[in-house]
Structure 1
Amino acid sequence: MTASCTFPAARLPLLTLALLAAYPSARAEDGPVVDASASIGIGVIDGDRQDRLLYDQYSGLRPGAGVIGLAGADYYRRDDERGTSLQFEAADLLTGNRELGLRWKRPGDWKLSLNYGELTRRAPFTVNSGLAGAGSTAPGVVALPQGPGSGSDFDLKTTRTALGVAYSKVLSRDWQLDASVKSEDKEGSRLFGVGMACPSVIAPGCGVTTGVQAGSGVLLLPEPIDSNHTQVEGRLSYASGQLRLSAGYYGSFYRNANGSLTPAVPGALFNPVGSLFPLAPGLQSILGQPVALPPDNQAHQLDLAGSYSFTRTTLLNFKLAYSQASQTASFAAMGLGGAPAGRSDLGGKLATTLAQAGLTARPLPRLSLTGNVRYEHRSDTTPIALYNIEGTSLFTNRQLPLTRFSGKLQGSYQFSGDWRGTLAVDAESIDRGEFTASSAIAGVTALRQKTDETGVRAELRRRMSQDLSGAISVESRRRDGSNWLRDNSGLGLTEVPDPSAPGAGLANGIFSPTLADRRRDKVRLHADWQPNEKLAFQLAAEGGRDSYQTPSAYGLRSSSMNQLSVDWTYVVSTAWSFNGYLSSGRQQLDQARPGAALLAYDNRTTTLGLGFTGKPAARWEVGGSLAFIEDRNAYNQTLDATADAGSAALLAATGGLPDITFRQTAVRLFGKYTLDKQRSLRIDVVHQRSFSSDWSWGYNGVPFTYSDGTTVNARQSQSVSFIGVTYTHRWP
Structure 2
Amino acid sequence: MRADDTTSTCIVCVDQGDLRGEMELGAAWVSDDAFRFGHHSGLDERGLYAVGALTLELARDNGTLWQLRGTDLGLDSRSLAISVSEPGRYGLQVAYSRTPSRLYDNGRTPFASGSTLTLPSGWVSAVDTGGMDALAVTLSPVEIRSDRDNLAIGFRFSPDTRWRYDLDYRYSERDGAALMSGSYLNRSTELVRPLNDEMHSIDTGISYAAENWQARLGYTGSFYTTSTPALRWQNPYLPPTPGADQGELALEPDNEFHQLMLSGQYGWSPTTRLSGSLAAGRMTQDEALLAFTLNPGLAATLPRTHAAVEVDTLHADLRLTSRPVSALRLGATWVYDDRDNDTPVTAWSYVNTDAIPEPAARENPLYGYTRERIELTGDYRFATRISSAAGYGHETVERDQAEVRHTREDEIWGQLRLALGAATDLRLRYTIADRDVSDYQSVPGIPAENPLLRKYNLADREQGVLELALDLRPRENLDVVVSAELRDDDYSDSLLGLQSARHEALNIDGSLVLPGSIVLGATLGYEDIHSRQAGSQAFAAPDWSASNDDETRFAMLSLDLPAVLDRWRLRLSYTRAETEGAISIDQSGFVSPFPDLETELHRFELHSRYQLRDRWSLLFRYAYEDYGVRDWSRDGVLPDTLPRVLALGAMWQDYSVHVFSLSVSCQLGADLTTGR
1:70 aligns with 2:51: yes
Would you say the 8 A contact 1:116–1:164 is kept in 2?
yes
Alignment partners' CA distance in 2, 1:556 and 1:282: 41
**Other-structure match for 2:358:** 391
Alignment partners' CA distance in 1, 2:409 and 2:548: 26
**Other-structure match for 2:416:** 460
**After the TM superposition, which residues 69-218 of structure 1 pair with which residues of structure 2 at under 5 Å, given as runs?**
69-80=50-61, 82-124=62-104, 126-133=106-113, 136-142=114-120, 145=133, 147=135, 151-197=139-185, 216-218=186-188
**Other-structure match for 1:209:** none
Which residue identity is paired with 1:526?
A
Would you say the 8 A contact 2:216–2:264 is kept in 1?
yes
Shift in Å at residue 621 of structure 1?
0.9
**Other-structure match for 1:544:** 487
Would you say the 8 A contact 1:218–1:706 is kept in 2?
no
**After the TM superposition, which residues 583-598 of structure 1 pair with which residues of structure 2 at under 5 Å, given as runs?**
583-595=525-537, 596-598=543-545
Shift in Å at residue 168 of structure 1?
0.6
**Other-structure match for 1:260:** 230
Which residue identity is paired with 2:32?
G
Alignment partners' CA distance in 1, 2:462 and 2:151: 46
Deviations 1:127-169 (A, max 9, x none): 0223212xx1012235674655973322111111122211111
Secondary structure, aligned partner of 1:192: strand
Deviations 1:54-80 (A, max 9, x none): 31222213x433222212233221111
1:2 aligns with 2:5: no
**Other-structure match for 1:671:** 608
**Other-structure match for 2:523:** 581
**After the TM superposition, which residues 467-486 of structure 1 pair with which residues of structure 2 at under 5 Å, given as runs?**
467-486=423-442
Which residue identity is paired with 1:453?
E
Change beyond 3 A, Cα 1:107–1:462: same
**Other-structure match for 1:634:** 582
Deviates more, 1:706-715 or 1:316-325: 706-715
Change beyond 3 A, Cα 1:279–1:353: closer
Change beyond 3 A, Cα 1:59–1:333: farther
Q: How many residues align?
A: 639
Would you say the 8 A contact 1:623–1:670 is kept in 2?
yes
1:608 aligns with 2:555: yes
**After the TM superposition, which residues 301-316 of structure 1 pair with which residues of structure 2 at under 5 Å, given as runs?**
301-316=259-274
Would you say the 8 A contact 1:260–1:336 is kept in 2?
no
Deviates more, 1:120-129 or 1:524-533: 120-129
**After the TM superposition, which residues 564-575 of structure 1 pair with which residues of structure 2 at under 5 Å, given as runs?**
564-575=506-517
Alignment partners' CA distance in 1, 2:292 and 2:96: 31
Alignment partners' CA distance in 1, 2:643 and 2:511: 51
The counterpart of 1:57, out of the listed 13, 34, 39, is 39
Deviates more, 1:115-124 or 1:449-458: 115-124
Secondary structure, aligned partner of 1:514: helix
Q: What TM-score do you get using the length of structure 1 for normalisation?
A: 0.82
**Other-structure match for 1:9:** none
Shift in Å at residue 113 of structure 1?
0.6
**Other-structure match for 2:458:** 515
Contiguous gaps of at least 5 residues in structure 2: 4-9, 124-131, 351-356, 538-542, 670-676
Alignment partners' CA distance in 2, 1:696 and 1:703: 14
Would you say the 8 A contact 1:410–1:423 is kept in 2?
yes
The counterpart of 1:625, out of the listed 568, 573, 577, is 573
Q: Percent identity?
A: 21
**Other-structure match for 1:281:** 241
Would you say the 8 A contact 1:705–1:712 is kept in 2?
no
**Other-structure match for 1:442:** none
The counterpart of 2:334, out of the listed 353, 359, 373, is 373
Q: What TM-score do you get using the length of structure 2 for normalisation?
A: 0.89
Would you say the 8 A contact 1:696–1:704 is kept in 2?
no
1:25 aligns with 2:10: no
1:450 aligns with 2:450: no
Alignment partners' CA distance in 2, 1:138 and 1:25: 56
Secondary structure, aligned partner of 1:476: strand
Secondary structure, aligned partner of 1:415: strand
Deviations 1:18-60 (A, max 9, x none): x95xx56225xxxx50124332211221223xxx233122221
The counterpart of 1:726, out of the listed 656, 663, 670, is 663
Change beyond 3 A, Cα 1:387–1:537: same
Which residue identity is paired with 2:274?
L
Alignment partners' CA distance in 2, 1:426 and 1:463: 28
Shift in Å at residue 359 of structure 1?
0.6
**Other-structure match for 1:382:** 343
Shift in Å at residue 656 of structure 1?
2.8
Shift in Å at residue 247 of structure 1?
1.0
**Other-structure match for 1:227:** 197
Alignment partners' CA distance in 1, 2:652 and 2:138: 18
The counterpart of 1:40, out of the listed 16, 25, 35, is 25
Change beyond 3 A, Cα 1:282–1:369: farther
Which residue identity is paired with 1:632?
E
Secondary structure, aligned partner of 2:456: coil
Deviations 1:458-480 (A, max 9, x none): 11111111211202111100001
Alignment partners' CA distance in 2, 1:710 and 1:391: 28
Deviates more, 1:591-600 or 1:383-392: 383-392
Which residue identity is paired with 2:316?
A
Alignment partners' CA distance in 2, 1:538 and 1:116: 36
The counterpart of 2:309, out of the listed 339, 342, 348, is 348
Shift in Å at residue 513 of structure 1?
0.7
Would you say the 8 A contact 1:318–1:357 is kept in 2?
yes
Secondary structure, aligned partner of 1:97: coil
Shift in Å at residue 713 of structure 1?
3.4
Would you say the 8 A contact 1:703–1:713 is kept in 2?
no
Shift in Å at residue 702 of structure 1?
9.8
Would you say the 8 A contact 2:105–2:142 is kept in 1?
no
Alignment partners' CA distance in 2, 1:289 and 1:701: 23
Secondary structure, aligned partner of 1:485: coil
Secondary structure, aligned partner of 1:589: strand
Would you say the 8 A contact 1:303–1:321 is kept in 2?
yes
Would you say the 8 A contact 2:637–2:649 is kept in 1?
no
1:658 aligns with 2:609: no
Secondary structure, aligned partner of 1:393: coil
Change beyond 3 A, Cα 1:111–1:340: farther
Alignment partners' CA distance in 1, 2:493 and 2:528: 25
Shift in Å at residue 336 of structure 1?
9.1
Would you say the 8 A contact 2:104–2:143 is kept in 1?
no
Change beyond 3 A, Cα 1:473–1:713: same
Shift in Å at residue 333 of structure 1?
11
Shift in Å at residue 227 of structure 1?
1.0
Deviations 1:364-401 (A, max 9, x none): 22211011001111111001112343532210111112
